[in-house]
Structure 1
Amino acid sequence: MSATRMLVLGVMHWAGRAHGYQVRTELVSWSADTWARIKPGSIYHAIRKAAADGLLEQDSTEPGDGGPDRVAYRITPEGRAELHRLVREGLSTPGDPWMLNAAIAMLPVLDRDEVRALLATRIKALDETLTRLREWRADPGQTPEHVLEQANLWVGQARADQEWAASLLDRLNAGGLQLPQPPASLHPTRD
């Protein structure tokens, strides 16, 4: 739910106001159903939940195309704070690839210096993870050999994650990777 919530809040933030079908269309155009494991129904659920939590507020109602009226929402200040929190968490904390993918899509909501600091935090957390996994492999106790293959897999995944984060951090430190403006299909809001 958090990756879906992050992406819904991000689209609402950039769009200024949108209804569920617009959010869904935007996220499907990004293939978020694949890399963030988002289902259309979860988008509508995330919108309703965010509204109930005070992260979105109803802006207007529009006639639907032959169906029910469409409710357009606008992100609240609390919603922007939650969006930033989720992006920070997804970028800095290893272990949830769906959150990381969503955070990468939402990088433009953070400034360059903060992205660099969060990547450094991620790299350090991955160092700690690799240390624990190597210790487990070195002294597996009663763990069956075939189960230790999980540790081998996780070491490889953590290394790949760490290499990616270090490479992105290097690019940012060298002045590369200009964080883009919001997608052209959306109109950014002014904070």
Structure 2
Amino acid sequence: MSATRLLVLGVVRMHGGSGGAHGYQVRRELLSWSADKWANVQPGSIYHALKKLALEGLLEQVETPQGKGPDRLAYTLTDAGEHAFQQELQQRIADVADDAANASGFAAALVFLTCLPRQLALDLLDYRLVQLDGQRKNVATVLEKGTDWGQPAHVNELYRLWLAHCDADISWTTDLVARLRAGEYVMADDAGQNFGSATPSATS
């Protein structure tokens, strides 16, 4: 699932309600997060994703009599859509991003982190740390070999950059885990309204 599709599902989940979320609402929300910059979400791709997700049964179209033209259509999350959202969210949080597409997918999942129960989020982030540690060890092993692996010496700078990225990701993830364990943020199983809460129609 692309970052755009995950973001669209998440925003409809937040704002769908009984009347549904209009395409312009989804677009306005995502652009207010600057998702066009960090996830390459374009306005046209948002409307395309809404239609495609509806065709796949993950969203349901709701006609609003007061609307005109495209604005007469709104969307709510189906049970299948809720399942797909949760599945993709959990996978994206746990998996280590090793390319640009996966990185934007992780960013898309991160903005809906509080849609998860606290312990589940912690378990997924702990798993992510295990993967990051393994990735760091692999990169460090290459650097330890120096130029013995047959490439020009300056190519090692790329591996030093990757090692720095691993260290930064490990440090950030470790800090986030500590803050979540200390009770930061209102998670899905906490009392109160958390960011990204499902609308009543999504869980009925």
Asked whether the equivalents of residues 14 and 189 of structure 1 are also in contact (C-alpha less than 8 Å), the reply is no
- The more displaced of 116-125 and 47-56 is 47-56
Per-residue CA distance 1:62-117 (angstroms, 9 max, x = gap): 5656x545421111111111111121122111113212211121112211011100
Q: Counterpart of 1:74 in 2: which secondary structure?
A: strand
The number of residues matched between the two structures is: 188
Q: Which runs of 5+ in 1 are unaligned?
A: none
Asked whether the equivalents of residues 12 and 75 of structure 1 are also in contact (C-alpha less than 8 Å), the reply is yes
TM-score (norm 2): 0.83
**Structure 1 match to 2:199:** 188
TM-score (norm 1): 0.88
**Structure 1 match to 2:43:** 40
Identity of aligned residues (%): 40
Runs of 4+ in structure 1 off by over 6 angstroms are none
How far apart are residue 166 of structure 1 and its match? 0.5
**Structure 1 match to 2:140:** 134
- The more displaced of 113-122 and 24-33 is 24-33
Whichever residue aligns with residue 90 of structure 1, its letter is R
Whichever residue aligns with residue 50 of structure 1, its letter is L
- 2:177 aligned with 1:169: yes
* Superposition pairs of residues 75-114 of structure 1, within 5 angstroms: 75-95=77-97, 96-114=102-120
- The 1:132–1:21 alpha-carbon spacing in structure 2 relative to 1, beyond 3 Å, is same
CA distance in structure 2 between the partners assigned to 1:114 and 1:133 by the alignment = 29
How far apart are residue 178 of structure 1 and its match? 3.1
Asked whether the equivalents of residues 67 and 73 of structure 2 are also in contact (C-alpha less than 8 Å), the reply is no
**Pairwise CA RMSD of aligned residues?**
2.1
How far apart are residue 36 of structure 1 and its match? 2.1
- The 1:91–1:175 alpha-carbon spacing in structure 2 relative to 1, beyond 3 Å, is same
Q: Which runs of 5+ in 2 are unaligned?
A: 188-192
